[in-house]
Structures are given as structure tokens and as C-alpha cells.
Amino acid sequence: MRKPMMAANWKMNKTSEEALQFARDFLRMSPPVSEVDVVIFPPFTAIYPLSRALDKTGVHLGAQNMYYETCGAFTGEISGGMLAAEGVTYVIIGHSERRHILGESDAVIAKKIQAALESGLTPVLCVGETLQEREAGDAAAVVVRQLKAALWGLGGDLPLVVAYEPVWAIGTGKTASDADAQEMAALIRNELASITTAAERTRILYGGSVKPDNVAMFLQARDIDGALVGGASLDPHAFYRLSMAAKSQASI
Ligand code: PGA
């Protein structure tokens, strides 16, 4: 049995004060933290205040990115060790906005995955094809390539979460169909089986325009264990509804 995960990727949104207000509003609703791994990925500036606000609440704290070196002359970067010291337990690696807007390569992503694991963080590795790649019939090949490249040289019992996020579905209001999302999740799990002994236990999330009203169709899919949510996670009520949807799926 895989514990469902509901992950809020706030991207470049919310000041630390706004993050604290979200935490107060969200916690007041008693989110289902024992049945679901509820994780908030705020911007770096809100990590310290949120680590205090979420302490002992059962809500996990994540980071949206990290650098692969441990310390030194890397202006503007933050290491996995720094994040772990603030109570961060998950880190998103290889989000499509970092791949496509910030130019992150598969090789850099692989180094970050390695560094995250060495820092004791669980990477949430994002993979997904562009619209052009899907229309050319290359979606599966792209996702397999991204997965293999990111996990190159790794093996054994890997603590890992994978998020399948088709690039064309992120922030667009378009989603993959439940059948397509399941097909890609099954492909990812199958591929993971040749890399890690933890493939059956690895949570695979769907991401891309997930909302309280459409999340159930993804959660019902056999190989999908939760969602990575951008826009809809900025509102505490919507994120609470998403978390409750994951809880009802967990009890089936
Ligand atoms: P979205 O973003 O829910 O706003 O589409 C998802 C993501 O980028 O993780």
C-alpha cells in the first residue's frame, strides 16, 4: 500500500507573511495528515517561518529546488544540507519550468538527485513531455530518457517520488486524460523496476492543472498515488479539498 501524497508547489508566489497566513487557515481545517503525506513547497524565503509554523503538525515541508554542491562560492544557490537543517524533507528536482525556462539539463538534474539523496532529502523528480513531443508520438521515449538520465548510476532502495507532469498541461487548464496519465505512470513504474528495488513502493504523482474538481479521476488510476499541484494549491481551501480527495482515495 502506497501512502498518497498531496503536494503544493507554490512556485514564485507568497511572501513569508502570506505563507504563514496560509498555514494558519489550512491547519484550522485539520488536514488529513495521518492518511496522506501533505507537503508544501514554498519559495525559499518562506521556508524558515513555515518550518516553525508546521512543526509537529504532520504537514511536511519541501523545497522547489537546490544546488548539487554542499557549500562554497556558488552565489545565489542553496544546498540540500541547508534545507535539511530547516526541517525540509522533500525537494522538487527537474521541474519543467527549471528545465525549460532556466535551462536545466538532464546532467544537472542527475547531480541534484544524487546530492539530495546524500543530504537525506527525498527528491520529487519531475518528468514530462512537451506538446510537440506528444504530437510526434515521442512522449513515452522522452519520459523514459528523462527518468534514466536523472537516476543514472543510482540503484538499490531509493527514497524517491516521481511526478509525471506533461509540460502542455502545466498552468494551462488542460489536463492529460486519466487513461494517458495512468499509461505514463505505469511506464514510469515499469522503468523504475529496472533501476530501484523500491519501484512498487515509489509514489508517482500526476501534475498539470490539477484542481479539486478533477483530482479524483487521477487518484483513481492504479499507478497514480497523488498530485503535484501549482495554481490550485495557493488557496488553503482548495488545497484542503485536494488533500481530502487523497484521503478518500487512501481508504478505498
Ligand atoms: P499547475 O502546476 O497545477 O498550476 O498546472 C503544476 C506544477 O507545475 O507542478
Q: What is the pLDDT of residue 98?
A: 98
Task: Provide CATH code, domain 5-250.
Answer: 3.20.20.70
* Cell numbers describing residue 140: 513515452
Ligand 1 centre to CA of 14 (Å) is 15
Band of pLDDT at residue 249, cut at 50, 70 and 90: confident
For the Cβ of 228 lying below 6 angstroms from any atom of ligand 1, the answer is: yes
135 given a catalytic annotation: no
Query: For residue range 138-170, what is the model confidence (pLDDT) as tens digits?
Result: 999 999 999 999 999 999 999 999 999 999 999
Question: Is the pLDDT assigned to residue 85 strictly greater than 70?
Answer: yes
Query: For residue range 8-59, what is the model confidence (pLDDT) as tens digits?
Result: 999 999 999 999 999 999 999 999 999 999 999 999 999 999 999 999 999 9
Mean pLDDT, range 224-243, rounded to an integer = 98
CA distance 28 to 113: 34
Query: Which of 206, 210, 239 to mutate to test ligand 1, by most ligand atoms within 8 A of the CB atom?
Result: 210
Ligand 1 centre to CA of 185 (Å) is 17
CA-CA-CA-CA torsion for 74, 75, 79, 84, nearest 10 degrees? Answer: 150
* Cell numbers describing residue 185: 505512470
Give the CA distances from residue 69 to residues 12, 72, 136, 153, 154, in Å, rounded to whole numbers and listed in that order.
23, 8, 37, 18, 18
Give the domain ranges of the chain: 5-250
- Of all protein residues, the one whose alpha carbon is nearest to atom 6 of ligand 1 is 230
CA-CA-CA-CA torsion for 219, 221, 224, 226, nearest 10 degrees? Answer: 0
Ligand 1 centre to CA of 125 (Å) is 14
| Stated length of the chain | 252
Tell whether pTM > 0.95: yes
Q: What is the pLDDT of residue 252?
A: 64
Asked if residue 142 lies in contact with residue 179, where contact means CB atoms within 8 angstroms, the answer is no
From 95, 97, 129, 133, the catalytic residue: 95
With CA atoms as reference, report the closest residue to 40 among 211, 201, 243, 250.
Answer: 243
100 given a catalytic annotation: no
Mean pLDDT, range 117-131, rounded to an integer = 98
